[in-house]
Amino acid sequence: MTFAVVSAQQAIFPKLSMWKYLNISSAPPSTWNASNFNDTSWPSGAGEFGFGEGDEATVLVKMNPSITYYFRKKVTFSTSPSGMTFNLNFKHDDGAIVYVNGVEVIRTSLMPAGPVTYTTETTDFLPNNLENTYISYTIQGSSFQAGENTIAIEVHNQRTTSSDVSFDAELVFSSTLSTIENTLKNKISVYPTVLKKDDLLNVNFLGSKGVLHILSSEGRLVKTTVLTKGINKIPTSFSSEGVYFYSIADEKENILSGKIIVK
């Protein structure tokens, strides 16, 4: 089976957005990365965070002996995003560990293995050509749950004498807008692709089992439905007019994605 593929991404939250952050000289609370941690005492700031480069919206301060900076953000999904794929694109000079609801999902290459503390150094400096680069990492949708989720990130410098530190991030839903050939082209059809807010969306699905996800143009997951063989008539109840995106995965994890216009 072959695909002519065009990559497309919709932002869950954008670059330069607001985060809760902690910039102190001692260890953070032991549960700082947990979803139920109370971060109301933490200040809020906009990305980019850091010092030493002059492009920071929120300036951090060296707080020896700590070389670590802590960030938290909440994201909400109206339905379970299991089966979807997300990319966290972020600057992390020098290294970072990312948690979703308290579970580690990303450890960048310059972070040492094993437990870390607020004084844990990275194994090397991030190369100069990557200091201002948004490096992309994959997070599977199964890491998130329906409802509120917490993304927590700790950014480590290489040493206390480092001249700069940087952090910013965006989370995007990564879809594949595909021209499907051969079998898959004849296996799934979605209609109408222009409809009113309360119209039914029809999915003619000839596989044994599939999953439909619908997202807003901002990347917010608005509906997830399990598909069975035959014509699935799906109530939509879109909250507003505009452009929406759908993604359908069959039992072999082939993906068909496209666009719906609600008028």
* Per-residue model confidence (pLDDT) at position 111: 93
* Per-residue model confidence (pLDDT) at position 26: 96
* Per-residue model confidence (pLDDT) at position 10: 65
Q: Break the chain into its structural domains and give their ranges.
A: 7-174, 181-262
DSSP characters for 97-146? Answer: EEEETTEEEEE-TTSPSS---TTPPPSSPPPGGGTT--EEEEEEGGGS-S
* Per-residue model confidence (pLDDT) at position 185: 56
Average pLDDT of the residues of the chain: 86
Structure tokens of 207?
A: 């596989």
Specify the CATH class of 181-262 in words.
mainly beta
Sign of CA dihedral 157, 161, 162, 163: positive
Residue with tokens 């060296």: 62
Q: pTM of this prediction?
A: 0.69
Q: Domain 7-174, what fold?
A: Jelly Rolls (2.60.120)
- Bigger pLDDT: 247 vs 190: 190
Instruction: Give φ, ψ of 143 to 5 degrees.
Output: -75, -20
Taking only the tens place, the pLDDT of each residue in 135-190 is 889 999 899 998 899 999 999 999 898 888 999 999 988 754 444 434 555 678 89
| Cβ atoms of residues 143 and 84 within 8 Å | no
- The Cα–Cα gap between 197 and 263 comes to 7
Spatial strand order in the sheet of 95-100: 44-46, 18-22, 68-77, 147-156, 95-100, 103-107
Cis? peptide before 65, omega within 30° of 0: yes
- The Cα–Cα gap between 122 and 226 comes to 44
Taking only the tens place, the pLDDT of each residue in 23-82 is 999 999 999 999 999 999 999 999 999 998 888 999 999 999 999 999 999 998 877 888
